[in-house]
Each structure stands twice: as C-alpha cells, then as structure tokens.
Amino acid sequence: MSISGLVLTLDGDPPLAESAIRVLRHDARITLGERTGERLAIVVETGSRFEDEEVYAALKSTPGVRFVDVAFVEFGSGEEGAGDADG
Amino acid sequence: MLTVDRRTFVKSAAMAAATAAAAGTTRSFALPVLPGSGLRWEKAPCRFCGTGCHVMVATENGRVVAIQGDQKADVNKGLLCVKGYHVGAILYGEDRLTRPMLRRDGRLVPISWEEAIGIVADKIAENPKGFALYGSGQWTIGEGFIGNKFMKAGLGSNHIDGNPRLCMSSAVTGFLSTFGVDEPPGCYDDLDRCDVAIMWGNNMAEMHPVLFSRLVDRRTRGEKVTIIDLTTRRTRTSEFADEVLFFKPHGDLAIANGIAHLLVRNGTFDRAFVEKHCNFRQLGPASEDGSPPAMLGEPMTFDEYAKAVEPYTPERVEELSGVPAAKVRMLGEMFGRRDLRINSLWCMGMNQHTRGTAINCLVHGIHLLSGHIGTPGNAATSLTGQPSACGTVREVGTLCHLLPGGRVVTNAEHRREAEELWNVPEGRIGATPGYHTVEMFKRFNTPTAEGGDITTMWVQVTNPGQTLPNLYRNFRRKKDLADKFLIVSDVYPTATTELADLVLPSAMWVEKNGMYGNSERRTQQWFKMVEPPGEARGDAWQMIAVSRRLFDMGHEGMKGRDGKWIFHTTDKAGREVPIWEWEHYYDVNVDERMFEEYRPFTRLKHKDLAPYQEYVKARGLRWPVVQQSDGSWRETRWRFSGFDDPYVGKGRDYQFYHSVTKDDKALIWFRPHEFPPEMPDAEYPFWLCTGRVLEHWHTGTMTRRIPQLHRAMPKAYVEMHADDAARLGVRNGEVVAVKSRRGEIDLPVWIGGRGDPKPGEVFVPFFDEGRLINLVTLDEYDPYSRQPDYKKCAVAIVRKA
Ligand code: SF4
C-alpha cells in the first residue's frame, strides 16, 4: 500500500487543463482535491510503491499536466525495501 | 499493511499536505500524527541537490516511514521533486555497507572497527606527507570542519580536496575574481522577481526542478517571465523557453563578449553604476616558465575594455558561437534595458569548462556593466549540484588552498588566525597549497618511485572511481600499484570501493546530526532520527577516532598548544568526554561543538553565522546572519546592497566591501574567446558532452538502488541527432562504441530522446556505473579553478560489427 499527496501544475490553456482533469477522474487510484489557480491537489493510493511510481510517470506525460510535484509520501514499514543497483 | 483507520488517516494527511502546498504559503498546516502511533516528525534538508529543499521526516519504530515537503521552508514551500520524494528510501538499500572490510588476498573481509581505525592511523603515521583526504559537497559542515582541522591543523598537510573541485570551483574563482569573495550576492528570491531568466548551458528543469517550477509557476499566476535557453542541446528546459539559442561548444565566451560589445557600442551600459562601482581588468602576459598569468590580472581602462570587446560584433559572434546575429542583438538590447530585471543562472555548463573562470567572470561582467545586479530580480546566480558544496567545501574551506571562512593557506596572516582559533602552535599550517583533485589522483595513480608521492588516500562520501575524468589514467592504474592504499568510507558498494583496500561503513543523512549550506548561502540543520544499520558509523566519528589513535600513538600534530588532543571535548562539568569511543560519541552534540568552534572563522569575510541553536529553530538562514539590537538574528538576502546587507556603509546604495582593488568596486573582466584544447577532427568527428538526468543523483549510488528510479532510467545511453544516426546507418537502441583518445565504452543510441543534441554532437549521462563515460572524457582543466571540462571532448561513434 502506498499513499502520496501530489500537486499538479495544469496547463494555462483551460480546455487542455480540463481534459487532464477528465483523465484523472477516470482513474480510481486518484482522488482529486482542491484547485488553486493552475495547481491541483491530488492523492494517489496504490497497492505498491511500484504502482505508485507508474501513476507518477503517467501523470507526468498526461497532456495538460505541466509539472508534478510531491508534497507527501508514506512508504510504510519497509516491506518493499529499496533494491540493489545491478550495474 | 495499513489498517483502514490508518489508511484513512494517511490519505487525509496526504490530501491536506497537497492542498496546502498547492495553495502556496497562505494556509497553515498541521503535520499528521495518528493518535496512539509512535510517529514523530522532524525537519531536515533533502539529501540530494544544492537547491536545499526542506523535508519533514516521519519516523516510527526506528525507521523513516514518510516524507513530506516542508510547508515552512521558503526554498520549496512544501514541494519536492521526484528525488526528494524518494529521499527516505535511500537508507534502506539491500546492500548497505554494515561492517568495516579489509582486502585480503584480493577479497574484502570483515574486520572490527578497532582494527580498522588502527590500520588507518598506522598508514598515516608511516608517511603523513604521503597521505591525502578526499571529501565531498555531501560532507556535513561538521564533517568538513573536522576533516580540515585534522589535515591542516593536525597533520600540517594541505593534501585535502573535495569533489566540488569537479563541479563548482570555476564559480568560486569567478566570484573571487569579480567580487574578491566567494558565493552569490543574490538568492532564490530573484527567481520570484526577475522578468527574464537566462539559462547559460543550464538544464534547470531536470537538475534543479523545484527551483525551475518556482520560476515557471509564476506564469500560471499570470506573470510574464521570459526564459532564454542558451544551450548546446535541446533539453526539458528548452520546452519552457521563449527562446532556445543553440551555441557551439565553447561559444559562450563569444556570446558574453558580444553582449558587452553591444552595451558599449550602443551606449546602453549603466554608466553611473559602472563609474561608481566598477573597475576593469584583463589578464597579464603568461610567465616565462609557461605558467598562466596571475588570476587577478592587471587593470585596464574603460577605453581599453571598449577596444577589447570591439571585435565581438553580432556577426563575428555568430561565426564563433553559431547564435544568429539577430539573437545576439536581442540579448544585447535586453541587457541594455533598465526596466527589465534579469537573472542569469548556471551550473555545470559554465563551470566544467577549461575557460570556466573566464566565462564566470564574463557573465558577472555583463550584469555589472548593465547594472543588472543587486536589486531583487537582477542577479547572476550559480547553482550547485550537491547539498553542501557551498556550506562545507566553499565556506569551511576543505580544498587544498583554503582555510575556513574564505582564508587561504598562502596568506601568513590567515594561517596565523587559523592557528590561533584552532589553538595549535604557530607554523603548524603549511604555506603551500596541497594537491588539487586531478593532481592528487594522478600522483596516487603513479608509482611511488616515479614521483607518485601520494601513497595513502582516504575517500569519504564520494565516488571518484566514477566521476574523475580519464578514469584509466586517474583512477584505475592504482589496481596494479601494490604500494598504494585506498580507504573508502561510504554507504553502498561503488566503483570506488571496488578498488579499495579498506572499506568503512558510514552513517548517512538522518542517521546522524548534520548541517548543510545550499546554493543561496542558506545554512541548515537537522538532528539524528534513526540508528545507522549494523556497525555503520558517521564519517565525523571515523576521523575523530583516527585522530585520537594518532594522539595516543604520540603524534605531535594531534596536540594543541596546551598539549591536549585537538578535538578535546568536555561536558558541562568540565570532564573530558571520550568522543573517540562510539558509545560516547553522542554524549555531547559534536556537531554543535564543531559549529561553535567554526563560527568565529566566518566573520573575516562577513559570512557571519548565528549560534547553532538559531538553526535548530529555523528552516535555514542566509548569511551574513547578524544579531539585532533586540537580540534576534537577521539573515541577508541581497549581499552588497545597501537596502539589505548590514555590512554596507550607511547611506550607500552598493558596496563591494571585499573588492580585489580595495576600493569597494567590483571588477568587469575582459577575457577573449578561445577554442577548446580538443576539438573534433577526421578521426574523432563528434563533440561529446556529459551530464545528469532527473531521476538519478550524480553517480546513481543512491538513486539506482531505489527500484522506481532505477526502472524509470535504468541505463546510460548516447543521445544522437537523427541526421547523424542516418548517416552512420545506426538505429534507435542499437549499441555503438563511443571512442576517444583515452578509452571507449559501448552504449545504446537514443534518437529523439529526452534531450536532442545538434548534428555533430552527442550526449552521455554519467550516472551508470556499468557504463563509465569517464573512461572516455578528457582531463584538461581550467588553469585557475583546476576544474576539468566534462562537457567537451572529441569522440568517434563506431557501429559494432
Ligand atoms: S530539487 Fe533537489 S533538494 Fe529539492 S527535492 Fe529535488 S533533489 Fe531534493
């Protein structure tokens, strides 16, 4: 289980920003929060940190999303410890 | 697994954090603590880049369990980049080093700390002058201070240097040559106020993403910020730029001179500012023995300066740099306007440069010439790649020619002051600079009988086995030299531990107390929150234990004027605390003791620091930090500016009070464009540029152990322009050999990838220890900063059979 609080900076072009929001609404792992100007608060809840990262990567390439910044991340008690670089 | 209650709780905490961060600083926000849990939140700076974002770290049952951007931090206002997101996970890689290990019969075998400390002390005692310490911009301030004192005041040796030599020493020589004192006059607030941001070879969107989003976010609030990307390849930064101006490698000097030419020719320079606050300089002739002219040069008049920049017409600049003459004019016109606030920003592009000092001076010069300096939004800002390159290496002075607080070993008065403050006998500190990084490693990698007079090296918190240029020459030779002994203190196995004779497991980040200093003169503090794994111990303790062992062995250098050990520490009752014994190391806060010992050093150059306890309360403070009449401590955002800097004389608008010319004036330099030492030719027809990527921090030793980051960017590659690939018949993903006169490696080709080089140029990131691009790079360096140029050398791209 992984939970993170993210801040998305949406595109200045309103239709593009709206289309990004529509995409986000369809993803059950994402809860939309308040929007302040171009900035939108969201929470991502996934089954693992791996999946969390996939969502993060998908958000970064969603049309209408300019930046993804992180405000909070919970990674629990280490059941998914970091790995070993494999060269 | 999270329980439902806990999950609901954490979700609402995550939403509250994100909402507060999205809203900026206008909302108050309480950190979440689940009733009944042992969760504890404490502040720390991020462990990675020199931006110096603050995080809140949650610990529970002795582990870091959550990270949150710190709402109270001015630098990042609650936000983090993808690396900051994972900063907690770097502690928990499966292969953390947990025991000291000695190489026996070619294998590293575990030994006790007792034995390890004894081996290091014996090696030093055998040949103190042949011992060198190589540190890092990731050393905490306390660690750097201990290392510097141990070497310079203890062993009487200046053979201590650090990896910032490889990343920002040209910025140092640029500031020294221009203002007579190191580090930027402005701060990050300039990003919030500028009208134009110019990236000088600087991919800020990937290297300093939180700062870049701070800048670009202004557009989303309806503010106009023009971004000009002066670059040799298209990067993520280019996507946000209003103008992307490609220049030929080394062409940046021509561009800066072209701007100066236009300011002078059009009469749009700030005459009043220049007459009141600036002098002009150029280099003198080279000396007869072939050594370069003195760094501080010779005076020149304004007329001589005007004549020197005269040839840099827009058309000539176009020829030299590739930037169209019309765009050079556009830049010249921008600098000529008083109503625009201009912030120049740079990082490795200008520093890793055989003319690094020169281009740093020229960029300061056009800001001075046009008066675009010292008011909010008008600044020339160098950014650092490591969290304490400034706080530790530049300020504490852990380079071979420096002493703490901006002093230099070649100045007798500076040595005397340092000996006094360190309470060691007069004459203890050597007057000759030690070996700088490349020279140090060259000597370590040269047989002793052939002049390789460095025989034992201790490397802490850095990975020269991956980062040194021309690795075959400067690192790998050691493998065959039986009389050389390499000690490495680190947290994970690296390309450097691979050749180590002794490996010491270190504590990292919140496993120890620490202080860092970021790119905007901000000093930050944190406390130890969790225990290091296994037998890992802090680098500061390791040096202290070795120093004590030498003292017990009767080494005279480890004694102060009073005959006591140089790190003699007492408790409140005046009893000695045996901090050399690990179990007693945390009986006192050694970090605080070292910081208070260091503080008096900082006043000479007006880099005043507040007492340690002020940093405990703050999210960092920018020096000079000066006490007010009400007893509070005030930081300084704009140095040398009368409206903010307490050291500027009353009634003065500006005062460059450490000026080289001792008249409170800054220097505007003329430095000509020159071609680089190695350029493409028929045999090696491509320019090679190396650098970093967003996901990985430098050599990837931490970030490559975080599965998400590793998966996002698993391997190095060679970026190439599609036309070159077509000409060579190379497909995307195909493995090619990248060859230079020094070495070669195989890499997959990436066409139209994240970055896009111009035809004739290729780019390779250096994070991948399995594909070491520094086997290929050139070890030529700037004659003043001694910083190598990792951005330009000639290579061939060869298809594999
Ligand atoms: S920008 Fe730098 S300091 Fe900030 S979170 Fe990212 S890596 Fe850490």
Q: From ligand 1's centre to the CA of A71, what distance in Å?
A: 12
Q: Note if B563 is an active site residue.
A: no
* Residue B4 predicted with pLDDT over 70: no
Q: Note if B508 is an active site residue.
A: no
Is A79 exposed, middle or buried (CB count within 10 Å of its CB: 0-12, 13-18, 19+)?
A: exposed
How many of the other CB atoms lie within 10 Å of CB of B95? 13
Concatenated DSSP letters of B190-225: HHHH-SEEEEES--HHHHSHHHHHHHHHHHHTT---
**Residues B74-88, mean pLDDT to the nearest whole number:** 85
* Residue B713 predicted with pLDDT over 80: no
Contact B44 CB / ligand 1 (< 6 Å)? no
- With CB atoms and an 8 Å threshold, state whether B11 touches A45: yes
Ranking B296-310, B353-367, B546-560, B766-780 by mean pLDDT, the lowest is B766-780
Confirm if B435 and B400 have CB atoms less than 8 A apart: yes
Q: Note if B465 is an active site residue.
A: no
d(CA B86, CA B88): 5
Q: From ligand 1's centre to the CA of B82, what distance in Å?
A: 8
Domains along chain B?
4-92 (3.30.200.210), 101-167+388-585 (3.40.50.740), 176-382 (3.40.228.10), 686-799 (2.40.40.20)
Q: Does A48 touch chain B (CB under 8 A)?
A: no
Average pLDDT, chain B: 92
Contact B467 CB / ligand 1 (< 6 Å)? no
Res B567: pLDDT: 98
Q: Which of B46, B79, B212, B213 to mutate to test the pocket of ligand 1 (most atoms within 8 A of CB)?
A: B46
Q: Does A13 touch chain B (CB under 8 A)?
A: no
Which residue's alpha carbon is nearest to atom 8 within ligand 1?
Answer: B84
Q: Which of B47, B49, B695 to mutate to test the pocket of ligand 1 (most atoms within 8 A of CB)?
A: B49
Which residue's alpha carbon is nearest to atom 6 within ligand 1?
Answer: B81
Taking CA atoms, what residue in A is nearest to B56?
A72
Query: Which of B17, B92, B768 lies closest to A81 in CB terms?
Result: B92
d(CA B621, CA B634): 8
Q: How far is B696 from chain A (nearest CA, A)?
A: 12
Q: What is the pLDDT of residues B517-538, one digit of tens each?
A: 999 999 999 999 999 999 999 9
CA angle centred on A77, ends A75 and A80, rounded to 5°: 65
DSSP B391: I
Q: From ligand 1's centre to the CA of B206, what distance in Å?
A: 10
Structure tokens belonging to residue B24: 């900026």
Domains along chain A?
2-75 (3.30.70.920)
Q: Does A26 touch chain B (CB under 8 A)?
A: no
Higher pLDDT, B8 or B513: B513
- With CB atoms and an 8 Å threshold, state whether B7 touches A34: no
d(CA B161, CA B425): 23
Measuring CA to CA, how many Å separate B290 from each of B170, B294, B298, B320, B344? 21, 12, 18, 27, 34
Q: How far is A23 from chain B (nearest CA, A)?
A: 19
**Residues B165-181, mean pLDDT to the nearest whole number:** 92
Q: Does B31 touch chain A (CB under 8 A)?
A: no
Res A87: pLDDT: 31
Q: What is the pLDDT of residues B737-758, one digit of tens each?
A: 999 999 999 999 999 877 889 9
Beta-bridged to residue A4, according to DSSP, are A44, A73
- With CB atoms and an 8 Å threshold, state whether B23 touches A4: no
B81 interaction partners in chain A (CB closer than 8 Å): 69-70
Is B223 exposed, middle or buried (CB count within 10 Å of its CB: 0-12, 13-18, 19+)?
A: exposed
Q: Note if B167 is an active site residue.
A: yes
B699: confidence class by pLDDT, cuts 50, 70, 90: confident
DSSP B402: E
Structure tokens belonging to residue B470: 């021309």
* Residue B234 predicted with pLDDT over 80: yes
Confirm if B141 and B516 have CB atoms less than 8 A apart: yes
User: Active-site residue among B49, B101, B168, B515?
Assistant: B168
Helix (H) or strand (E) holding A36: strand A30-36
Ranking B98-102, B632-636, B771-775 by mean pLDDT, the lowest is B771-775
Location of structure tokens 């997101």: B85
Taking CA atoms, what residue in B is nearest to A35?
B22
Contact B168 CB / ligand 1 (< 6 Å)? no
Instruction: Residue window 197-256, chain B: list those with CB within 8 Å of chain A.
Output: 210, 213, 216-217, 219-221
* Residue A77 predicted with pLDDT over 90: no
How many of the other CB atoms lie within 10 Å of CB of B744? 15
User: Active-site residue among B46, B101, B151, B167?
Assistant: B167
d(CA B150, CA B157): 9
Which of B334, B14, B126, B397 shows the shortest CA–CA distance to A32? B14
Q: What is the pLDDT of residues A1-49, one digit of tens each?
A: 678 889 898 888 889 999 999 999 999 999 999 898 888 999 998 887 6
**Residues B16-33, mean pLDDT to the nearest whole number:** 64
Q: Note if B348 is an active site residue.
A: yes
Q: Does B712 touch chain A (CB under 8 A)?
A: yes
Contact B83 CB / ligand 1 (< 6 Å)? yes
* Residue B595 predicted with pLDDT over 80: yes
Q: Does A82 touch chain B (CB under 8 A)?
A: yes
Q: Which residues contact B155 (CB under 8 A, 6 or more apart)?
A: B124, B128, B131, B557
Confirm if B781 and B787 have CB atoms less than 8 A apart: yes
State the sign of the Cα–Cα–Cα–Cα dihedral B118, B122, B123, B129: positive
Kindly give the interhelix angle for B539-552 and B141-148, rounded to the nearest 10 degrees: 20
d(CA B428, CA B555): 13
Query: Which of A7, A57, A85 lies closest to B22 in CB terms?
Result: A7
Q: Does A69 touch chain B (CB under 8 A)?
A: yes
User: Active-site residue among B69, B385, B430, B620?
Assistant: B385
DSSP B532: P
Q: Which amino acid is at B93?
A: G
* Residue A81 predicted with pLDDT over 70: no
Q: From ligand 1's centre to the CA of B48, what distance in Å?
A: 6
Res A38: pLDDT: 85
Res B746: pLDDT: 95
Torsion region of B758: left, alpha or beta (phi above 0 gives left; psi -120 to 50 gives alpha): beta
Contact B209 CB / ligand 1 (< 6 Å)? yes
Res B84: pLDDT: 84
Query: Which of B58, B81, B710 lies closest to A85 in CB terms?
Result: B710
Q: Note if B83 is an active site residue.
A: yes
Q: Does B792 touch chain A (CB under 8 A)?
A: no
